[in-house]
């Protein structure tokens, strides 16, 4: 009367933390870090462009310069936060690698 279904037991293969850390750390250091550094440099260039536009642009370029400077500051803040998150993840994963 009762239908017996095979029960799938979870295999007790523990994830090796060292293997996980060895796989993630090169990705963070070789791919993610250079992208964040490039975006950080781009945000600084946008901010510097806004400052130069403010200094040399006169009255007509002042509004666009303020927008450019604000965009640069926001970009710098976001890239700093992203860098912090990447280092937090890297140090957390790196803590597994001993």
pLDDT tens readout for residues 41-70: 999 999 999 999 999 887 888 889 999 999
pLDDT of residue 83: 87
Q: How is residue 93 annotated by DSSP?
A: H
d(CA 35, CA 13): 35
Total-model pTM: 0.68
Residue 16 has pLDDT above 80, yes or no: no
Place of tokens 């600084």: 44
> Where is mean pLDDT largest: 27-31, 52-56, 59-63, 85-89?
52-56
Nearest Cα to Cα of residue 83 among 20, 28, 24, 21? 28
pLDDT of residue 14: 52
Instruction: Give one DSSP letter per residue of 40-62, joined into a string.
Output: HHHHHHHHHHHHHHHHHHTTTTH
């Amino acid at each position: 009367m009762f239908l017996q279904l095979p029960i799938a037991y979870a295999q007790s293969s523990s994830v090796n933390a060292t293997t996980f850390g060895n796989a993630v750390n090169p990705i963070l250091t070789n791919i993610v870090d250079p992208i964040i550094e490039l975006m950080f440099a781009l945000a600084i260039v946008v901010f510097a462009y806004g400052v130069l536009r403010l200094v040399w642009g006169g009255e007509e370029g002042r509004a666009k310069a303020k927008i450019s400077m604000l965009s640069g500051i926001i970009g710098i803040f976001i890239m700093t936060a992203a860098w912090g998150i990447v280092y937090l993840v890297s140090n957390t994963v790196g803590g597994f690698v001993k």
